Structure 1
């Protein structure tokens, strides 16, 4: 342990049942909710005001502890519909206020019960403004979240665990969240009147490579007329092409794109050579850039929220988008065969690419939202139009 780090021996007062211990020795005390125990991960923050179930089940949050900047979480309860994967991907969550009582006609359970059933640890009562400022200034730290109902903590052990965790750079997490078997998807987007529907008259066949696929991405493709076949992240180009697709989709996902790219990039290069339309989102966008000869970088704090402005350089239009990523494409590394089509208005990072003279494009943001605005949903239509033109 560094000599200048002084760790507390015990909580500041009785009643404390949770702690968040960062790798630099900073300790945030609070009150536990959800599951008990401890979990290690990268501590990030999300600025969305809604959609906590979607956020916590988004596979892109694997190995991360999510700080919610919005103070009141839990008011819409939990249900079986607002999830983006069968299992929660995040390691834990940090909240300002204690979880509020559900007040929604769609709620089927209290958020606290849902967290416990998904083995998610929460700490409440934290000054999330202070923690968010710490992340903005110092970068996303590694940390351990611990819920101990008896109030007994081994802070030194938690600190050592946070220090020993290697972090997300160099970590391939797509294999951990990807499906293990190929499956078909025909569920369409949710509506208030009828819930989720079914695509019974598809016009094209799309193979989606699952690096951490969100359900609402598959729903968005199906809504636009696709028959969707989902394949594992490790599927070969031969296995993908054996399904006779009309187009290829590269999904979102967690971890370092360079690490996942070790096995995924050669496959993507082969898919590019087929001439099929290809659409990538988030991790899929980053790995498409790698396949075209670019590189990626770890970001200082990442982009996570539902209010991120992105400019379409081709039209001048500004879209408010949903984002969740901690790595970005290095603009200076891209070859002349690739156009940058979208940029973040927060920091100018690359948010969209298009390959010249090929029906291939990608975006860093999430046009399927869930949660977030739907300004960019037209991208699914654009992709399906490319597929139709080739057919």
Structure 2
């Protein structure tokens, strides 16, 4: 299998030939890249990556195997994997399986032994675009026809494909705080962070109504991360508006940040190629301190709209690489959000204080 041929074809006609990784097959999605040096399994299972072909810039993928404890959801969520060195033998004693066995079990198609640096430079220059990986079809004209049928991420609603089917609870009912989570594609480490802070959590499907959410009698409300275009999620925006009307502490992460912004009239936009990695510098404008953050998003909140609506939204965090909006709070409301991931797993943990900030806000208002 390690010698099986594989091809990556991009929407602009650029192609790369390498070797098959994971399941033999064909897959499509929007190509993106992550600059993290570790945490590949956490990334693979992050629901925010649903529908995307992931390029890993770290040269070695698979060297420490896979472990059930490292998953962020019920299974792999990326649409395909693109890497340089696909290392099947692993050295970690706590690992449960090799990366090849894991990806075959999960049914993920991938390609290795390609020049990932060249691919990343191409995306950074040309922007995000759809691609197709195949280890069974090598005719570029046929692959182009398959690629033409792949949906564009711009305008695509995906949270309903990764959300929970029905509401469920976590933690002890006797906990100090009750937090309602709107699951747009939540990561498990977000929920673990709430549990660590003495919260009883109820996770609701993405399209749950406010009556159902408020029947839990929550002390605080949370809107999770997730995949897809926030501009195609009016149902979630309406829920966020309903949450704001409750006057309870409200916290949003990543897609939740974008949904909160749209709920107060701030539009979102599709980025040229997005931010994905665990080394993104962000400045907290309230404290003046900077933090290294974990990020994964291809959409952003409009800085022009925020600048024109300072009576509605205050910027709290900015990206030090490109000055994009990384955090906001709603004026006159106990509501705030960040574009990045304070629950970062495996790290960094510079932004974990945001969970404390949310819980403290709950405690102040009880």
TM range, normalised to the smaller chain? over 0.9
**4+ long deviations beyond 3 Å:** none
SS state at 2:60 partner: coil
Q: Which runs of 5+ in 2 are unaligned?
A: none
Which of 293, 309, 313 aligns to 1:321? It is 293
Is it true that 1:357 corresponds to 2:332 in the alignment?
A: yes
Which of 297, 306, 328 aligns to 2:278? It is 306
Query: TM-score, normalization: structure 1?
Result: 0.90
Which of 11, 20, 40 aligns to 1:52? It is 40
Which of 132, 141, 144 aligns to 1:156? It is 141
Which of 100, 105, 109 aligns to 1:117? It is 105
Which of 357, 361, 366 aligns to 1:382? It is 357
Is it true that 1:371 corresponds to 2:346 in the alignment?
A: yes
Which of 19, 23, 26 aligns to 1:38? It is 26
Which structure 2 residues correspond to residues 326-341 of structure 1 after superposition, within 5 A?
A: 326-334=298-306, 335=309, 336-341=311-316
Is it true that 1:236 corresponds to 2:209 in the alignment?
A: yes
Q: Is the 8 A contact 2:88 2:100 kept in 1?
A: no
Shift of 1:76: 1.1
Output the CA distance in 1 between the equivalents of 2:8 and 2:346.
26
Output the CA distance in 1 between the equivalents of 2:346 and 2:129.
25
- Quote the residue 1:166 is aligned against: 151
Output the CA distance in 2 between the equivalents of 1:100 and 1:371.
21
Q: Which runs of 5+ in 1 are unaligned?
A: 1-14, 187-198
- Quote the residue 1:193 is aligned against: none
Compute the RMSD of aligned alpha carbons: 1.3
Q: Is the 8 A contact 1:306 1:371 kept in 2?
A: no
- Number of aligned residue pairs: 362
| Residue-by-residue CA offset, 1:56-85 (whole Å, 9 max, x unaligned) | 000000000000000011111011100000
Q: Is the 8 A contact 1:201 1:225 kept in 2?
A: no
Output the CA distance in 1 between the equivalents of 2:175 and 2:47.
27
Shift of 1:128: 0.2
- Quote the residue 2:239 is aligned against: 267
Q: Is the 8 A contact 1:23 1:160 kept in 2?
A: no
Q: Is the 8 A contact 2:4 2:135 kept in 1?
A: no
Output the CA distance in 2 between the equivalents of 1:223 and 1:349.
31
Is it true that 1:94 corresponds to 2:103 in the alignment?
A: no
